[in-house]
Structure 1
Amino acid sequence: MQPGMVMAAPYHLGGGDFYGRAGNPTWRALETAIGDLDGGRCVLLPSGMAAISTLLRSVLRHGDAVVLPSDGYYATRQLVADEFADLALDVREIPTPGPWPDGVFDGVRLVLLETPSNPGGDVCDIAELAERAHAAGALVAVDNTTATPLGQRPLELGADIVVASDTKALAGHSDLLMGHLSVRDDELAERFVRARTLSGSIPGPFETWLVHRSIGTLDLRLARQAENAAALVERLRGHPAVSGLRWPGAAGDPAHEAAKRQMRRWGGVFRFELADAAAVAEFLRRSRLVVAATSFGGLHSTVDRRAQWGDPVPEGFVRFSAGCEDTADLVADVLQALS
């Protein structure tokens, strides 16, 4: 070896652990657990945005066409517009419920779906859109953050990739950041692992352990959150201060029939509108159980006024994440805060 030359480190040395950034037992334990839930091979990332960024950077090339949800998580669209501007991408934004016109997938490299969408709670048919996208030669990724793998398994519905922010319901305690990608294609999984290793976009071992700890109560937490959401939606329907009430779990909701075909259970996230930003602030001031937070899916009920982040929604638009409080207490508190 000549002076000044650097030997590249291998990614695998006989399958053993040799460097924490390349892999470690704590990651593998959680990746195995999440992979089993998703029905594929999981690759951990340190946040949901790290998972989305790793997906886009690993798949997209200069001049590619990509389909994004126009009503999905705003930071995904911002990432593509700002950080991927030099790729000269053909970005096609479609609302989650459609319409999905003929030819929308022509020449597309990646279709990113988000169902139920954040923050609107709309739903699209994963199986139908995956079939159409695959016929056009596109990969299909589904942001499954809101549903979680207990509520929906996109890989079984035809998607190629699951992307999720485990900061939300999967971890469920509002005390850490985590994300993941799950696939059934080993070559694609290795591409994500390589991107994680070279970028240094790695989750901390303690946060990884905390997520693994949290999965044990995921079923219980989702059940109580859905119970609380159902009770709140029932009592808020027709309330004079509330409009635009939406929850895929409610019979009669525009997304309900599509959601029933592919979701195995409902979550605790729903939406409604109050008169304006001041009304949301007053609601939060009067409530004793509900707090303002931009995350969701945790033990405690939270409200996020999405317009403050630039989402194209009315000023009084509220994303409500029902927590695990006593149902009667939570309903009573919300109703008195709205009175």
Structure 2
Amino acid sequence: MDYQDGTRCVHAGLPEPVPGEPFLPGPVLAAPYHLDPIEGPRPGVPGYGRPDNRTWQRLEAAIGELEGGDCLVFASGMAAITAVLHLFVRRGPRLVMPSDGYFSARPLAALLTDDVVYVPTAGPAPDYAGAAGVLLETPANPGLDVCDIAVLSARARAAGALSAVDNTTPTPLGQRPLELGADISVASGTKALTGHSDLLLGYVCTRDPDLHAELRNWRNLTGGVPGPFEAWLAHRSMGTLDLRLSRQTHNAAAVAELLAHHPAVRSVRWPGRPVDPSYELATRQMRRIPGVVTFTLEDKAAVDRFFTASALVRAATSFGGLHTTADRRAQWGDDTPEGLVRFSCGVESPDDLLTDLAQALDAAR
């Protein structure tokens, strides 16, 4: 049966029900496993804790079901991105990367190759001739520009390049890159996917068995595996993903409108606003708009006053959790205006959040 998102989230990756057993079995913590004393290791049977763990396998099944591909989980989003970029440079030195995407991915790429072409997410896209891999991030973090995954993935394939999409901000309920033609979907599960701000996680999904095998071998050799308890927490948290995203998107729509009409705010970006430059493409390509809004105040001092005055908005560099957080991106050396704020809507009651936001913006003036 073709279930809707909420049902899929609740049941994804769970074993068949057995009387007397929990819905989600507890984490398998042991690193060594008993081997068959005669036959030794056997395919499909855990033999050692670095390449195999039943808890990861359940989580991978759950994420893979939502993304529409075969999943591998990693210790963090950066571990997952590292695996993908390494996969690219094994095929050739040239990478095409977003100039306005997640800032840590750019120095990582520079460590792997001297031939990196940086392109704004909004384009125009370059000629992909000679590229081994194209990494897209849409919506881009933190500017929230959007690019056309189907068009750019097809262009990459025609040029002989692999394509990957950083799907961290929208999650697989907001966007399914593999269905749009991308070879790989990669994300940090630390953020909205798990949504409780209590773990680190990354993952890679693909429909290509050869790419999956190569990425799995990389993970096995480098050891970038998640802890079983973190994997169990992630799987537990995914059951509420549809509920959390629905409230966050609802809050973001209201927050974006308030920001757009407040005199302290110089600019607002949220792809769900009809006046946003990315609105047409975002609403066509995405299944729902994420709960992240970017806005600009006058300067650092205005942002400082904003944080000091707010009772609900916490300063944090992660996003996508239950609690509303915000982050002044320039403090990390990101190439953004001093007053640019990435605002991640939590699941608080909308009226409370808007009341707090309004008085904090008043103070920022």
TM-score bracket relative to the smaller structure? over 0.9
Distance 1:198 1:254, change over 3 A: same
Cα separation, 1, equivalents of 2:88 and 2:159: 16
Distance 1:22 1:256, change over 3 A: same
Identity of aligned residues (%): 59
Which segments of 5 or more consecutive residues in structure 1 lack a partner in the other structure? 1-10
Cα separation, 2, equivalents of 1:158 and 1:261: 15
Cα RMSD (Å) of the superposition?
1.2
Note the C-alpha offset of 1:55.
1.0
Cα separation, 2, equivalents of 1:288 and 1:44: 36
User: Match of 1:55, as an amino acid?
Assistant: V
Note the C-alpha offset of 1:62.
8.0
Which residue of 1 is the match for residue 139 of structure 2? 116
Note the C-alpha offset of 1:325.
0.2
Note the C-alpha offset of 1:261.
1.4
Which residue of 2 is the match for residue 64 of structure 1? 93
Which residue of 2 is the match for residue 221 of structure 1? 244
Which residue of 1 is the match for residue 27 of structure 2? none
Partners of 2:328 and 2:340 within 8 A in 1: yes
State the aligned residue count.
323
Partners of 2:91 and 2:132 within 8 A in 1: no
Map of 1:31-46 to 2, 5 A cutoff? Answer: 31-46=60-75
Give the structure-2-normalised TM-score.
0.87
Q: Which moved more, 1:231-240 or 1:299-308?
A: 231-240
Tell me, yes or no, if structure 1 residue 53 matches structure 2 residue 82.
Answer: yes
Partners of 2:100 and 2:143 within 8 A in 1: yes
Cα separation, 2, equivalents of 1:119 and 1:93: 16
User: Match of 1:203, as an amino acid?
Assistant: P
SS at match of 2:45: coil
Which residue of 2 is the match for residue 329 of structure 1? 352
Note the C-alpha offset of 1:221.
0.3
Equivalent of 1:14 in 43, 57, 62 = 43
User: Match of 1:267, as an amino acid?
Assistant: P
SS at match of 1:180: strand
Which residue of 2 is the match for residue 201 of structure 1? 224
User: Match of 1:108, as an amino acid?
Assistant: A
SS at match of 1:297: coil
Equivalent of 2:122 in 97, 111, 118 = 97
Map of 1:166-245 to 2, 5 A cutoff? Answer: 166-245=189-268
Cα separation, 1, equivalents of 2:54 and 2:189: 19
Note the C-alpha offset of 1:59.
2.8
Cα separation, 2, equivalents of 1:167 and 1:294: 12
Cα separation, 1, equivalents of 2:41 and 2:324: 44
Which residue of 2 is the match for residue 294 of structure 1? 317
Partners of 2:260 and 2:267 within 8 A in 1: no
Tell me, yes or no, if structure 1 residue 138 matches structure 2 residue 138.
Answer: no
Which segments of 5 or more consecutive residues in structure 2 lack a partner in the other structure? 1-39
Give the structure-1-normalised TM-score.
0.93
Cα separation, 2, equivalents of 1:59 and 1:196: 15
Runs of 4 or more off by more than 3 Å in structure 1?
Answer: none
Cα separation, 1, equivalents of 2:217 and 2:154: 29
